A and B are shown apart, each in its own frame.
Chain A
Amino acid sequence: MSWLRRSARLKKEWRHDPEALMLKRHFRELSVAAALGILLLFLAVAAPAFYQAQPLLSLLTREAPTLVVACGMALVIISRQIDISVGSQFAVCSVCAGLLAALKWPPFLVLPASIAIGALMGAINGTLVAGLRLPSIVVTLATMVTWREGLRWLRQGEFVNLPDGVQWLGLSQANGQRALIITALVVLVLMALAMKHLSAGRFVHAVGSDAEAARLAGIRPQLVTFSTFVLIGAFTGFAAMMNIAQSPQVDPKSGTGLELKTIAAVVVGGVAISGGRGTLWGVFAGLLLLACISPALTHLHIEAYWEKAIQGAIILLAVVADGLRTRSEKR
């Protein structure tokens, strides 16, 4: 019986030791980071060619807009909603921003326009979800299809060719790439700090854990929900600008699958799909892990057939881990 006593004592210590507590609270984030670390280490041994400055910089630049949208998605999911229209919003913002840039609008005017268009689409979602209490999955499904098909009708799949100087915003390629990556990281850090230290951030958590309790505590859950949708729209508009700044033309299909990518990153990163829990650091680790799979497989000469299966398995693992955790917490 001594082991039992010992484990009880350990448990006690666990509870009082702040370091151990931290470890436990952030177990999900840390396990994703560990998985990412293992993958990166493995690649260092098995495929050192993965570590070349230029390709990595290019790949990370491609993921930078996704990270910004994923930050917005994390907020929406923490507040117990979902937005599957981000991919379509992204495409609409990209094409609009591209057309404005093609009309020789300077980037410092195109950027706010793109953000405004995104925020407007977010406000439409937010009004329908928060104002009329419709389920967000239905609302954003409808807007996803509407925006995407509207765009198809308008553009017929035709690319928007951008004038010279839009790509990298006049910077050199390497500096432009660094600027975009740093921008995305700044957004991440600011949002992570805001979620922890601003009351607005805590409101999002509160509404996601228990909207009724939040209401009784004086928070207006519908306003919080509306705001998260406007925010993710604005973030998507911002991300769209980051996307067109790295290419001389805009594919009107860009953003296809973005909703899946970002939701997957959020879920893998340890945000509870049932709301109320999660951090942006976890989302960051989740996004990096998922983004590494495809290049890793190419470097390891593994058939492309496996890519989606492996990504799916990682998501499944994350969801199962969440389910087990929720069950053990309830006990």
Chain B
Amino acid sequence: MGQQNIPVQVLGIDAGGTMTDTFFVRADGRFVVGKAQSNPGDESLAIYNSSVDALAHWNRKVEDVYPELVTCVYSGTAMLNRILMRKGLKVGLLCNRGFEQIHSMGRALQSYLGYALEDRIHLNTHRYDEPLVPVSRTRGVTERTDVQGSIVIPVREAEVRQATRELVAAESQAIVICFLQSHKNETSEQIARDFVKDELKKLGSPIPVFASVDYYPSRKESHRMNTVILEAYGAEPSRETLKKVSDRFKANGAKFDLRVMATHGGTISWKAKELARTIVSGPIGGVIGAKLLGECLGDENIACSDIGGTSFDVALITKGSFAIKSDPDMARLVLSLPLVAMDSVGAGAGSFVRLDPYSKSIKLGPDSAGYRVGTCWPESGLDTVTVSDCHVVLGYLNPLNFLGGAIKLDVERARQHIKAQIADPLGLSIEDAAAGVIELLDLTLSEYLRANISAKGYNPAEFTCFSYGGAGPVHTYGYTEGVGFKDVVVPAWAAGFSAFGCACADFEYRYDKSVDLGLPENASDAAKAGACKTLQEAWSELATKVIDEFVINGFKPEDVLLIPGYKMQYMGQLNDLEIVSPVTSASKAEDWNKIVDAFELQYTRVYASSARSPELGFSVTGAILRGTVATQKPVLPEDANAGPTPPAAAKLGTRPFYRHKKWVDAVIYKMESLLAGNHIVGPAIIESDSTTFVVPNGFETTIDKHRLFHLKEVK
């Protein structure tokens, strides 16, 4: 086939907690997915092994392919784990005198972040994690800037110097400075920063200094402090990890510059100044990938659904753009980082299934078996039934081909556990008990999905649902049935979709700064020009930061495309909208009018025209600046239509499959052997190494030229 001659251009990496996925794309749009066990000690090795696994499909060697690559994007959980396990640097903290305990106390909600509802309302379970910086390495200095940004008490030099010496003596490996209201007026913090640096120089100490104004100048004191501490605490060790990954690529001949998926949906260099924003990246990849596919298919409203072993993540793309949350929580900390908005419910394929001892109702999760699958895997050591056990018993999954046959599942073991724990206490047959569990999960997920769309004021009929994640295609029919989507799409590479999405992301830096501008509807031209001046100052400040980042990677300032944006709301309303600015720079009253018009247009799209309230006046709450440079992205495969009948070679046989109280024989297909245009009517199960796509009776699917399956309910 001449496969050796077509260069491999793009590599996406998703280094998860248990598996490291790699996704290679050739210039002709063909792709392969590789999997290897993650290796927290040396991530670069897991990536290498995963690459070997992927490239074996093409009979190619890593040493030959790495030099051909032009783009490589990494996403992983290393940084997150470092924070969760409290394995970061010893950070010293300088704050306002009298506020030394603030970081340790944390925000009350941090005591129950990440909990399921039952535990959130169960106070006994609430718990504060160990603070990233202990009080013993925190020093307060006299300083006060008020809420308007005026300096009430200038910072005391002697105290700053004394505190610096004490923090160094306490063996701090980095010093963070975070003063109250510094997002309004950075002066005091900058002065303190310079004193600290000078004192460190006198002491001959090389430790780095992180002032919040230099990193995340956003309002909300706990958020800002947490974020800067996170940067100091976890970013440098993570940079070491990334450097190791990059070095191994280089050693194998790679010429590309490794990029990392960041929370705002773009990718940044591992050399970037602000690395804390790479803390969560895996799930975001899927949203970016869905956006790119949507652009290809002409769908501008997409419901992204990702179902893995532990959770079900939903994100919405409306009018071609995803929402950004500016004060998310991660690792049980409130942070001020821009994050692609996503909603999550703790129900997945590995969720444990239990009976409530009092009400005898079936309960799913909130905990899950994770990589241990379920009791059907004897080596798991588990004895509590999981959703996967029910799938195995009902014929959804092939017990001999789980993860491509990497582990063998024991159907009888799962049956016995379901019988003892669920079926017998409820007086049901094993099949009906297991089918009940699946129905409950499907109902939970579809209600969640529906609620997520309609609660935001949208109609599911205007949305295309993308379903991916290792376990996604098994459930797609279940959680989309009856919701009424325009189309339901399952990519053939569902299991590697996050890695694919990472490879689709722009090389983009994004910086945010809080601003407080408020203007009435009929403000004078002078006032409008004044507001423009403030906004423009913020943009210019951010532009310097963005360009600096690209310069580190050897780009020239003129290569960078700068995209200014802002956050705006009607004065007094609670939620702001993020707008891409219609003007590249702002100075005149006309610019302000355009800024307002763009906001009102977006407001109309998101809510309704009749909900507009210009009489309240307008507030700009934040300035945003994104900068990108051109990168190579994956091309989608374009296959010739081979007609509706699947080739004989794709048919592997049949398997008994239980649904709606009866066993039927489902036809088994090999996913890789299906061709564009093939049409399959359920009951059918389409298998590949890494995922299983279930098409029960009442459903049909067609594979298109991009290797996307479209699932439909048969009317």
Say if A and B assemble together: no
Give residues in B with beta carbon < 8 Å to A. none
